[in-house]
Amino acid sequence: MVISVCVFDAYGTLFDVSAAARELAGQPGREGFAEVWAQVATDWRLKQLQYSWLRAITGHHCDFWQVTQDGLDWALERAGQDHDASLREALLGLYWQLAAFPEVPEMLGGLKGAGLQTAILSNGSPDMLAGAVDSAGVGDLLDAVLSVEDVGIFKPDARVYDLVGERFSCARDEVLFVSSNGWDAAAAAAYGFVTLWVNRAGEPVDRLPARPHHVAPDLRNVPHLVADL
């Protein structure tokens, strides 16, 4: 086995999904939101994922932007912030400009320098992903940005992971798949990818039929991992 393609989940893996709420909480006049921003950010992300799973199971697909809005609305209501339309608008606007985690550019550059192909495989819609990639300035370090919209169902459906082989004409065991979602890394491992779970929060491994092959606290050592495989 030789890894030829490194594929990354986008939100929470390359891009910091808490950045929008954290940035807004620091702005003048947002003192009330500053008290609850961490809860809002956590709930927002959780509902994004839960709604994507439920839509996949029930066959009610929509694009990830709708799921993102629905998740935020739930999170704001729970935090008692749903009365502020300007807050909602500002958070959604910032979500198109999420910052990449600090180690991302150097890590991707290391992979490209080693001759690897790199890609994103995400639940995000193409326009959302384009905005995030452009904002983070990493477009020239990626060979492809793959969206579930090409198959019309969210992860962890196998048809999503099929997109990698279709794009790169590679075997499954030639792919290192990297995700900050334990369930995503486990599903990709069951599919046949070599997987790395970026466990930034130090959480337990999910009890699923497959487990991630590797676990790391961040992305810094991805090029070294590939070299050692």
Looking at the annotation, which residues are catalytic? Answer: 9
**What are residue 171's phi and psi, to 5 degrees?**
-75, 160
Distance of CA 22 to the CA centre of its chain: 18
User: Considering only CA atoms, which of 121, 125, 161, 165 is closest in space to residue 144?
Assistant: 121
CA distances from 128 to 33, 65, 161 (A): 25, 7, 19
Are the C-beta atoms of residues 68 and 92 closer than 8 Å to each other? yes
Count Cβ atoms below 10 Å from residue 112 Cβ, excluding itself: 17
Number of H helices, E strands in the chain: 10, 6
Q: Which residue has the tokens 């995030």?
A: 132
CA distances from 86 to 30, 36, 79, 94, 148 (A): 11, 16, 15, 12, 30
User: Considering only CA atoms, which of 161, 170, 112, 163 is closest in space to residue 138?
Assistant: 112
Q: Which residue has the tokens 């940005």?
A: 145
User: Considering only CA atoms, which of 46, 83, 85, 90 is closest in space to residue 67?
Assistant: 46
